[in-house]
Amino acid sequence: MEKQHSRELTFLHSGDSLRPNSGVADRTLDDSSDHVEPHIKEMDFFSTQYQSHDHHHHHQEGNTNNNGSSSFIDSSVNIGLNLLSSSPGVSRATNEEKHKAQESALKMELEKLNEENRRLRSMLDQITKNYNELQGQLLMALQKQAHRNQQEQKDAVNGMASTIMSVQQFMDPRPSSALDVNEPSGSDDKTQELSASPENTMEIVSKEYDHRMVQNMPGKQVSIEDSTDQTSQNWGSLKSPKVDQSKNEDQVSEVPFRKARVSVRARSEAPLISDGCQWRKYGQKMAKGNPCPRAYYRCTMAVGCPVRKQVQRCADNKSILITTYEGNHNHPLPPAATAMANTTSAAAAMLLSGSTKSKDGLPTSAYYPSLPYASSMATLSASAPFPTITLDLTQGPNAVQMLRPPPSATSFPLPLHGYPQLLGNPMFGPSKLSTASPALQLGQRPASMVETVTAAIASDPNFTAALAAAISTIMGAPPRNQGNSSNNNDENNNSSNGVGVPALPGSPQIQQSCTTFSSKACTNKPG
């Protein structure tokens, strides 16, 4: 079991080289240490892992040789084992010695375990980072494609020029961020806002985007006195759309879409999905039609952070946890949180960009014909006050699914094929394997992989959230891009724009107004 986690982690770590034929690793371990106890294997594996990570990707990279890398720990571990198991009949003195030896061996093991834990953590961090990076690239690619689609539609429909314009600006990383950022009078540092972190930049952009949506004007006019105030303004604007709306009739059509909602449903037994941010609960309410209370959280990572989220279990299926994010962080985010933010932002961006084109505001769904999964994302709910995107991670590979009745569990395009690294993702593991349609999902092949990874990572909600975010994003992207880009650069961070996307430490265009995991799919009432 544990051995398997390790393996999974290894693959994840090596990232793109994740392959179905994990048997290689199996063999390596099995051959070299068949008689060693599981936990020992684990240690061995981890350490190996770590080494390979730090130096070069030893064997995992493609070298199928099974020897080598496991010697280090094995030897040390074996010492303890031998001490433990050898010699049933000896004198007392020897026994005492033996005990001492055992003690020391156990201590050593403990220490090693601790070390391994630390290493694992760093590995997880790295993995998360890698995912984030990939995600960012994918998002960019996504945006580009969406942009293209819009252009096409634009050609087809001229009347929508203004809205498309706003979308385009939204898509364009540089201008938008540059626009608003330059004037954070109240904020500490423009430079900080600009470059400090991807998140920041994105925040700014998103804010601007909000305003654009509200005022239907290309940016910057809105004075962003203070990032905090700004965002809170946006937040407030949610409640009083009519005020802004009164400015212009044209905007009327936009108003309902000012705030996109990204609804993500995921199976989780945990009361709360840790997404890398710090939250403070500020309220709880019983929502109509749902026996489970809805909890309200506020981001406390920064003083004025306007981001809030709602958490509620689905009335139909209480194993499904629905989390709703709203607002933009006005502070740097940890990797895990970034992933989530990026994902929801991207989804919302897609929704918004698509929504701008549907003047009816009808519950349309296919705004991105060329994006198989994205198409299902951009679904608007006519009844909802805000456009809502539902990232349904409780379904199958069709994980990303917007406000649509889930297709029968049998249909399986399995985009995962294109995303080997996803196979090891806990997000799919726990949900699918344990509940929905186990066999169908990943059952036959790398099922074990998923399971093990799931088991291994399930304990780390942060990681889960991050991966969930990454996945949900990836799922919305065309498989090809993913396959290519994934391999390019896990470690290469920002500079690695295999996709040809502007480097940007973070996709500025992404972070839009608000991201929401809403419960509309299962609990919300129309109205």
Report, in Å, the least distance between residue 385 CB and DNA. 6
Report, in Å, the least distance between residue 288 CB and DNA. 4
The upper half-sphere exposure of residue 432, i.e. CA atoms within 13 Å in the direction of its Cβ, equals 29
Instruction: State which residue, 230 or 473, has the beta carbon closest to DNA.
Output: 230
Instruction: State which residue, 35 or 288, has the beta carbon closest to DNA.
Output: 288
Cα 365 to Cα 7, 29, 403, 473, distances in angstroms: 39, 48, 9, 17
What string of H, E and C letters represents the secondary structure of 367-424? CCCCCHHHHHHCCCCCCCCCCEEEEECCCCCCCCCCCCCCCCCCCCCCHHHHCHHHHC
Report, in Å, the least distance between residue 286 CB and DNA. 7
Report, in Å, the least distance between residue 518 CB and DNA. 8
Report, in Å, the least distance between residue 203 CB and DNA. 18
Instruction: State which residue, 197 or 518, has the beta carbon closest to DNA.
Output: 518
Distance separating alpha carbons of residues 139 and 477, to the nearest angstrom? 8
Asked if 376 contacts 448 with a C-beta cutoff of 8 angstroms, the reply is no
Report, in Å, the least distance between residue 427 CB and DNA. 23
Instruction: State which residue, 11 or 386, has the beta carbon closest to DNA.
Output: 386
Instruction: State which residue, 92 or 288, has the beta carbon closest to DNA.
Output: 288
Distance separating alpha carbons of residues 67 and 38, to the nearest angstrom? 18
Q: What single letter denotes the amino acid at residue 25?
A: A
Instruction: State which residue, 218 or 385, has the beta carbon closest to DNA.
Output: 385
Residues in the chain, how many? 527
Instruction: State which residue, 148 or 281, has the beta carbon closest to DNA.
Output: 281
Residue 280 parent element (H or E): strand 279-286
Close Cβ partners of 85 (under 8 Å, ≥ 6 residues apart)? none
Cα 19 to Cα 13, 15, 60, 417, 420, distances in angstroms: 12, 10, 9, 10, 6
Alpha helices (H) in 157-272, listed in sequence order: 161-171, 173-181, 190-191, 198-215, 227-239, 241-245, 249-254
Instruction: State which residue, 100 or 280, has the beta carbon closest to DNA.
Output: 280
- Adjacency order of strands within the sheet including 308-313: 279-286, 293-299, 308-313, 320-326, 261-267, 388-392
Report, in Å, the least distance between residue 431 CB and DNA. 24
What residues make contact with DNA under the rule CB under 7 A?
235, 239-242, 278-289, 294-297, 300, 308, 310, 385, 525, 527
Report, in Å, the least distance between residue 514 CB and DNA. 11
